[in-house]
């Protein structure tokens, strides 16, 4: 959610180039993509993606996503945890619908925020939560630090979340999923300039936009080959042509995450 806020601050800097960039990428103005629901794709369930966790406040209002990586550890975005405490946060597993009451609700006994984190656009956007109650859901595997080739441009990645289905829209009551292609680092740098920190971030989306993560999807997974490879972090708006979603490049943080998972 704070990713979008930061993106809006960035917007003032890059807005002038946005229309020109979109036109350049798409050719004729008539080729501008029609507005589509984002996280596009389709509805799904936590039965299909059992590691998909809701990060909620103490009243179980979802504000971010997270990925179960062991029975008591959840990977999410650092920016999701800003201002949160172990008392303010809950993790909910096995709940496909935001208005559901089923599944497992856990308190959090520890919030580890990557110590380097300052702002999503500076990178380091990873946090690990330790659960007070073990989750009985199958966890996801995550990339090891050596698997950097998973981010080859054009590779299909899967995104998941309950976030807004259009920029400035409403959240989805049901979990949604979509697939988006990984974008090359050079292309993402062209979109975002120095806010794209190649070592810590990877971009995904279509040149024409239309499918993307959005507000409320932050902290959730980017899966490549079914393995957790990224964390929804930030972007300029949502699903805009020429502005792909930006994800934490998890290979950079695998060892730090493993240290927390084993702690
Ligand atoms: C957010 O605010 C957010 N389009 C998540 C993803 C993106 C932008 C904002 C990427 O949670």
Q: Is 48 helix (H, G, I), strand (E, B) or coil?
A: coil
Contact predicate 212/234, CB 8 Å: no
The better pLDDT of the pair 98, 4 is held by: 98
Q: Which of 46, 4, 1 is nearest to 160 (CA)?
A: 46
- Distance between CA atoms of 92 and 192, rounded to whole angstroms? 34
Distance 218 CA to ligand 1 centre (A): 6
Contact predicate 177/49, CB 8 Å: yes
What domains appear along the chain, each with residue ranges and CATH number? 4-31+51-139+253-261 (2.40.10.10), 148-251 (2.40.10.10)
The pLDDT value recorded for residue 40 is 73
Query: For 218-246, how does the pLDDT look when each residue is reduced to its tens digit (9 = 90+)?
Result: 999 999 999 999 999 999 999 999 999 99
The pLDDT value recorded for residue 41 is 82
Q: Which of 237, 104, 215, 125 is nearest to 170 (CA)?
A: 215
From 5, 6, 7, the mutation candidate for ligand 1 (largest count of ligand atoms within 8 A of CB) is: 7
As annotated, the active-site residues are 79, 125, 218
Question: Is the distance from the beta carbon of residue 236 to the nearest atom of ligand 1 less than 6 Å?
Answer: no
Query: For 24-49, how does the pLDDT look when each residue is reduced to its tens digit (9 = 90+)?
Result: 333 333 333 433 334 678 999 999 99
Question: Is the distance from the beta carbon of residue 167 to the nearest atom of ligand 1 less than 6 Å?
Answer: no
Query: For 163-185, how does the pLDDT look when each residue is reduced to its tens digit (9 = 90+)?
Result: 999 999 999 999 999 999 999 99
Q: Which of 165, 166, 183, 182 is nearest to 174 (CA)?
A: 165
- Distance between CA atoms of 89 and 122, rounded to whole angstroms? 24
Q: Which of 183, 229, 228 is nearest to 209 (CA)?
A: 183
Distance 232 CA to ligand 1 centre (A): 7
Tokens for 150? 């998973």
pTM of the model: 0.88
- Distance between CA atoms of 183 and 225, rounded to whole angstroms? 16
């Amino acid at each position: 959610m704070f990713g979008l806020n930061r993106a809006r601050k960035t917007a003032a800097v890059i807005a002038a180039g946005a229309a020109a960039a979109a036109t350049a990428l798409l050719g004729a103005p008539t080729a501008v993509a029609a507005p589509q629901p984002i996280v596009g794709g389709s509805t799904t369930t936590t039965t299909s993606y059992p590691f998909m966790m809701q990060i909620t406040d103490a009243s179980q209002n979802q504000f971010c996503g997270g990925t179960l990586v062991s029975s008591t550890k959840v990977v999410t975005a650092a920016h999701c945890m800003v201002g949160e405490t172990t008392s303010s946060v809950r993790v909910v597993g096995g709940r496909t619908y935001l208005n559901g009451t089923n599944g497992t609700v856990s308190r959090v006994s520890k919030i580890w925020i990557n110590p380097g984190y300052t702002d999503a656009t500076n990178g380091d956007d990873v946090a690990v939560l330790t659960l007070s109650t073990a989750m009985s859901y199958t966890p996801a595997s995550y990339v090891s630090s050596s698997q950097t080739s998973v981010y080859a441009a054009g590779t299909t990645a899967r995104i998941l979340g309950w976030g807004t289905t259009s920029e400035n829209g409403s959240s989805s009551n049901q979990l949604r999923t979509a697939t988006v292609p990984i974008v090359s680092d050079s292309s993402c740098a062209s979109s975002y300039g120095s806010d794209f920190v190649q070592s810590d971030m990877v971009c995904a989306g279509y040149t024409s936009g239309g499918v993307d993560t959005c507000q409320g999807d932050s902290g959730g997974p980017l899966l490549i080959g079914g393995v957790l490879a990224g964390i929804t972090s930030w972007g300029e708006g949502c699903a805009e042509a020429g502005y792909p979603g930006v994800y934490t490049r998890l290979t950079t943080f695998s060892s730090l995450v493993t240290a927390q998972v084993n702690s």
